[in-house]
Structure 1
Amino acid sequence: MKKNVQIKGTKDGIVVFLDDEASVSEIETELFERLKEQNQATEKEEKLLVKVQLGNRLFSPEEETRITNIINENSQMQISAFYSDVITKKEAREWKEREQVYSMATIVRSGQVLHVPGDFLLIGDVNPGGQIRANGNVFVLGDIKGIIHAGFEGNKQAVIAGKFLYPSQVRIADKFFGFDSEDYKEIEDTELFSAYISEKNEIVIDEIHKIRKIRPEISNFQGGR
């Protein structure tokens, strides 16, 4: 007879596996019976934290509450979290926003602030006083004279690429590097550079081709010979 409920010890601790093809009522009945049998054979002791694996489905908040009550009331276990192999629409939407590359062809003027949830590609200049904020990476095909803030929500793996000119500022997560001193005032470099946080936890300005070595995950093209 197929078991709809399995309780196993793993390297991550105790996991309760629930068959994703069984109905919730079948799972509740079998879970209650299994726990009642086990509880009679064990002494009362401190609650053990367990994870519940739902497989290829999601439970509603009400269904999670019912499962939680059954486990809490009929065993020495306490649920630490529910896990599923699928994600909600909200999680899928958030994932898409994080992974998406947003692009725009414009000039970011003084006082403007552009904020995107993923990576950002700007074809144009960032004027002094203009600002770009992105939760991911920022790539600018133009002159950067304003503020570029990549990894805005704390992602220290984010990178920035572009032409950094006076009086620009580069920010990644909580780190920043300024080109706003007199030392950079006369520079009119036309080369593209990259900015990233090094192993020493500081922003480094380097040659553009270094990005593929520092952050190889940025390049995902599989074609070519």
Structure 2
Amino acid sequence: MLEENQTITIKGTKDGLTLVIDDRGPFEDVIDELTDKFSEYSPKKDEPVVPVTVKLGNRYINDRQKQQLRELIGNENCFKIEFFDSNVIHRDEALTWKEDSDVKVINRIVRSGQILENVGDLLLIGDVNPGGKVITSGNVFVMGNLLGIAHAGANGDRDAVIAASYMKPSQLRIADYISRAPDYESEGVYMECGFVDEKQDKIVIDRLQVLSHKRKDISGFERRMLNG
């Protein structure tokens, strides 16, 4: 419980320091109270930097206010804000998150010389012909023949996967990993997926069903699709 007129609670954890900021008062009061609290602190010489998590509850703060907190807490102190934890995000951030997490369904054939680009997960109902290419920041699911190039996790997501009804690609890419045609059976494989195996440090091919174990955060929609 916060005492009357107290907007900030400071908690020490094994991972550093947590500042719990009451979301009801004005931001100016938060700054004033933090200034008072940290003015009493005098760091010792060579004291290690302590990571700080700021819990904001239902309070939204903009980039300028975040920078103000970073400077106030880190200025001549041995503290550094590592993370802002808030229940509220800006509308633009919410739209970006929705775009990144949505599964976009496209019904078409990607022919030789064509490139299909997408943000988030892609469900392609159709084929990727030799010479065709699909690129997405999320997962790639091809309900058809994957004979061309598929690039999942294009923004660096190594947990992205590529799945196809019939897998005989000329090239698979996941984040910065590349696997070329010689890695696959000459006749191709049915209902398989490709993903990055960290132990082998390469893209491997396995049955679709393994994804529920290898990628536990896969969505309910994708689980139903993969498992029939």
Report the TM-score, using the length of structure 2 for normalisation.
0.77
Q: Which residue of 1 aligns with 2:61?
A: 59
Unaligned runs of at least 5 residues, structure 2: none
Q: Which residue of 2 aligns with 1:90?
A: 92
Of 17, 25, 34, 2:37 maps to 34
Bigger Rg over Cα: 1
Q: How does 1:97-112 map to 2 (within 5 A)?
A: 97-112=99-114
Greater CA drift, 104-113 or 209-218: 209-218
Q: 1:16 to 1:46 in 2, by over 3 A?
A: farther
Aligned length: 215
Shift, 1:128, TM fit: 1.2
Q: 1:44 to 1:210 in 2, by over 3 A?
A: closer
Distance 2:120 2:216 in 1: 17
Matched, 1:206 2:206: yes
Distance 2:210 2:71 in 1: 54
Matched, 1:16 2:15: no
Shift, 1:139, TM fit: 1.0
Shift, 1:176, TM fit: 2.7
Shift, 1:71, TM fit: 4.4
CA contact (8 A) 2:74 2:81 kept: no
Distance 1:217 1:82 in 2: 22
Unaligned runs of at least 5 residues, structure 1: none
Q: In the alignment, residue 213 of structure 1 is paired with which amino acid?
A: H
SS at match of 1:54: strand
Distance 1:112 1:139 in 2: 18
SS at match of 1:53: strand
Shift, 1:50, TM fit: 5.3
Identity %: 36
User: Cα RMSD (Å) of the superposition?
Assistant: 3.1
Shift, 1:150, TM fit: 1.4
Q: Which residue of 1 aligns with 2:220?
A: 220
Shift, 1:111, TM fit: 1.4
